[in-house]
Structure 1
Amino acid sequence: MSRLLLLLPSVPIPLDAGARIRNHGLLKLLGAEHELDAIAFGPSESRADLAGLTRRAIVVPRPPARSAMRRAIDMATSERPDMALRLWSPAFEEAVRGFLKDGAYAAVQAEGLEMAGYLNAAPPRLRLYDAHNAEFLLQRRVATTAPSVAAGLYSRVQWRRLARYEGHVVRQSRMTLAVSHHDANQLLALAGTEANVQVVPNGIDAASYPFSPPPEDAAPNLLFLGKLDFRPNADAVRWFIDGPLRSLKDVRLFAVGGAPARWLVDAGQHDDRIVVTGYVPDERPYLQRCTALVLPMRAGGGSRLKALVAMASGLPIVSTRHGMEGLDAADGTHYLRAESAADWVTRISQLLSDAALRLRLAHNARALVEHRYDWSAIRGDLRAAYARLNR
């Protein structure tokens, strides 16, 4: 058993976001086989949640959000990407150095690119980077769907800076974890094939999601699940409402997630076919109320934890290629793929009218999650990745 230090952007409780779900699962897996310490951003009262998952833990107050003026100055005077500065805190860096001084660690693992800068406090032989996304790719895709000239310019500048920064982080890390083979290949293309990149997929606790496929007489309710100020999510919802939803009569869309934009709140107030919930602590009631999850993603990266949640729950999925990227899911077997607005109308109509199809997709998807994406299945991937450190 070795001693590990994890650096976290937040205390991973509650499990209400993709990064928290991944980080919570990794903490449990690593904590079962190693002496695990952790430093996380969060309020002081959240320390008890983190302490329950680790041997030793502290929380550091999250740095205040930078003003628009500060961010503009940073963009003009620094080559580092915005993301590298978002969670920078001298207090957190001091905490990392303090832990390293007190303990003999086998590895220091940074969870996500926002935390990667703190690896500089550790000797190169200890640095592990868990890449929750290929961030440059996400930002490059967002640039093509940006809602304004300014947003597009920001993304074009940022994806190039992210590519340089991510490549550097991967090269300087003894090992990088990627959530999919697709992301691993993207990171290797940046850092060079000599980099050590291993795949440890995103996972969920499938048993936490009762398998409850939509009944034969299910109401035509569609679900979009995700944080609604995340630009790929906001773009996807807007595209779906402005396009396919207009042609889907008697269909209702539930947009479930925190921080919805003003235009989306207004849409929900003026159109009874659109329900905007805001943040909910538990998405399971909506998974059971709806007939399909829609993932009309035109950008994004990593892999979709919201897709895994729906698959485990028995909720069929209609998605673009980007929406299921990184998952070993097949069109027609585990979900239905749609790209154009016309495709979306056809696929959703097909799913809503065919209970047998819904049931077949639901059973296949649940089996895939249990076999490949439950944390019990991912334990072997994580063990294999860490075993390579000792070769």
Structure 2
Amino acid sequence: MNILVVDRSPPCNLLQGNALIGQHLFRRLRHHQLTLVCPAPAGEIAHYQAELAQLFDAVHLVPRAKPVAALVGSFEPSLAQLGIRQAGSADPAAARALSRCVGQLLRQQSFDVIHTRQLPMAAITGGIDHPAKLLELIDSEALQAARRVRPGAPKTRLRAIAARMIEQRAVRMFQACTTVADADAQMIRSLAPKMPVHVVPNGVDAAYFSPLALPEQPDTVVFTGAMSFPPNVTAVLHYYRNILPLIRKELPQVRLVIAGRDPAPEIAALADDPFVTVTGFVDDIRPWLAQPCLMICPMTSGSGIKNKVLEAMAMARPVVSTRLGMEALEVTNWRELVVADQPAEFADAVLKLLRDAAMRARIGAAGRELVLRRYTWDACAASYDAIYTQLAARRTFTAPLPVYMPGRPGGRAE
């Protein structure tokens, strides 16, 4: 099939979640004719062009001056203006150039499916008159905003209402949608009851993330991830302030390793604790997963599948996670992974695993077996193959809505 992919950023950065998914996915969909349109930093076009040519049959990169995270601001009211996710970085000129590029391609050739990746790019493709438009959402902005609502904080409720309105408007412009988790899919179904919503879990490269024969560091736990990402920052601080003191009462020498790039100042400050290591960027995360006794994922916000959890499980490392950190995974508690939400419960689980090497090995092995059976990139690509086939066979579609473009009279996209 001839597939047009419209992405928010070049899908060739293994350090960024959306790009990581895209790179693994499209490498396995090369049997299709793949055309990519996406923005890229003006000074890095040639670099990305060469790298993306290995994944796509045609690559059209639109220079941008600013990050595109807030192209969701192309909708009114704007999530960016309300402070949801990253704010203040919309690039209206890039948005118009993306619309022109997509329009020109559609005039030149026929595409079986238009695959739009992430909510911000719905402003580019949502209004296109095409019967097979797919919107890929890693997670639901509306669900995340709803989870951030706090009593006595009216702005959080306003943001949740705005996020729901914007996401509803966006998803109804498409004929199908994907998420990585059931909770996000349920939110999307509530916004667009008649639209097919498919749950396609993330995968992991289980050959790359395989067990390593390295000496285990006693009484050590690790958290991995981009340490400027607010949910990761919140998770680590929650563990350090509310869970770790309970563990230290019984195991004073317990160590915490925080492995991930761009640590926020409050994370970097934890390195003042002699029992905490903050690595910053590491070339290879695998040794940092393999040597600690276990991985922790004490998430208190966010949604979707956490790649960090799949990577640890693929390496046969036991994981202790809150429900939010693993809600998209089909696991049995204390078999493939340990689930604990309350600080005391989480601390008890960590202590139990640190004291029992046989249990760690048993849970780690079961986790890897589950990954091999269910959470591979091949399985992810097969799901998208089936969705493409289903969409391309459709002949009915709802009338598209006009797309608001910032800075354009009347707000219509070209």
After TM superposition, give the deviation of residue 365 of structure 1 in Å. Answer: 0.7
Residue matched to 1:8? 7
Question: 1:213·1:313 contact (CA, 8 Å) conserved in 2?
Answer: no
In the alignment, is residue 337 of structure 1 matched against residue 339 of structure 2? yes
After TM superposition, give the deviation of residue 195 of structure 1 in Å. Answer: 0.9
Residue matched to 1:362? 364
In the alignment, is residue 381 of structure 1 matched against residue 383 of structure 2? yes
Instruction: Tell me: CA distance 1:154–1:231, structure 2 relative to 1, closer, same or farther (3 Å).
Output: farther
Task: State the one-letter code of the partner of 2:383.
Answer: D
Task: State the one-letter code of the partner of 2:231.
Answer: P
Distance 2:278 2:317 in 1: 19
SS at match of 1:159: helix
Task: State the one-letter code of the partner of 1:177.
Answer: T
Residue matched to 2:37? 39
Instruction: Tell me: CA distance 1:85–1:162, structure 2 relative to 1, closer, same or farther (3 Å).
Output: farther
Residue matched to 2:96? 90
RMSD over equivalenced CA pairs, Å: 2.6
Distance 2:240 2:118 in 1: 31
After TM superposition, give the deviation of residue 346 of structure 1 in Å. Answer: 0.6
Task: State the one-letter code of the partner of 1:362.
Answer: G
1:59-116 deviation line (CA, Å, top 9, x unaligned): 22334259x9xx9xx79x9413226985552222222222222221112111111222
Question: 2:316·2:366 contact (CA, 8 Å) conserved in 1?
Answer: no
Residue matched to 2:407? none
In the alignment, is residue 80 of structure 1 matched against residue 87 of structure 2? no
From 292, 296, 299, give the equivalent of 2:298: 296
Aligned counterparts, 1:52-67, within 5 A: 52-64=54-66
1:252-303 deviation line (CA, Å, top 9, x unaligned): 11112233221221221x1121211223342112112222111111111111
Residue matched to 1:233? 232
Question: 2:227·2:260 contact (CA, 8 Å) conserved in 1?
Answer: yes
Residue matched to 1:265? 268
Distance 1:213 1:159 in 2: 47
Instruction: Tell me: CA distance 1:253–1:62, structure 2 relative to 1, closer, same or farther (3 Å).
Output: farther
Question: 2:289·2:312 contact (CA, 8 Å) conserved in 1?
Answer: yes
Instruction: Tell me: CA distance 1:291–1:12, structure 2 relative to 1, closer, same or farther (3 Å).
Output: farther
Distance 1:368 1:87 in 2: 40
Question: 2:337·2:363 contact (CA, 8 Å) conserved in 1?
Answer: yes
After TM superposition, give the deviation of residue 23 of structure 1 in Å. Answer: 1.0
Structure 1 unaligned runs (5+)? none
Structure 2 unaligned runs (5+)? 395-414
Distance 2:269 2:383 in 1: 45
After TM superposition, give the deviation of residue 213 of structure 1 in Å. Answer: 7.7
SS at match of 1:384: helix
- Matched positions, count: 375
Question: 1:229·1:260 contact (CA, 8 Å) conserved in 2?
Answer: yes
Instruction: Tell me: CA distance 1:85–1:267, structure 2 relative to 1, closer, same or farther (3 Å).
Output: closer
Instruction: Tell me: CA distance 1:188–1:7, structure 2 relative to 1, closer, same or farther (3 Å).
Output: same
Task: State the one-letter code of the partner of 1:265.
Answer: A
Residue matched to 1:165? 166
From 142, 151, 159, give the equivalent of 2:148: 142
Instruction: Tell me: CA distance 1:47–1:157, structure 2 relative to 1, closer, same or farther (3 Å).
Output: farther
Question: 1:227·1:257 contact (CA, 8 Å) conserved in 2?
Answer: yes
Distance 2:117 2:102 in 1: 14
Distance 2:316 2:55 in 1: 30
Residue matched to 1:254? 257
Question: 2:139·2:181 contact (CA, 8 Å) conserved in 1?
Answer: no
Task: State the one-letter code of the partner of 2:253.
Answer: D
Using the size of structure 1 for normalisation, the TM-score is 0.88
Report the more deviating stretch, 166-175 or 56-65.
56-65
After TM superposition, give the deviation of residue 246 of structure 1 in Å. Answer: 2.0
Distance 1:179 1:62 in 2: 28
Task: State the one-letter code of the partner of 1:332.
Answer: W
Task: State the one-letter code of the partner of 1:38.
Answer: L
SS at match of 1:11: coil
Report the more deviating stretch, 120-129 or 194-203.
120-129
- Percentage of identical aligned residues: 29
Residue matched to 2:182? 181
Task: State the one-letter code of the partner of 1:238.
Answer: L
Task: State the one-letter code of the partner of 2:237.
Answer: R
Residue matched to 1:25? 24
After TM superposition, give the deviation of residue 335 of structure 1 in Å. Answer: 0.9
Distance 2:191 2:376 in 1: 30
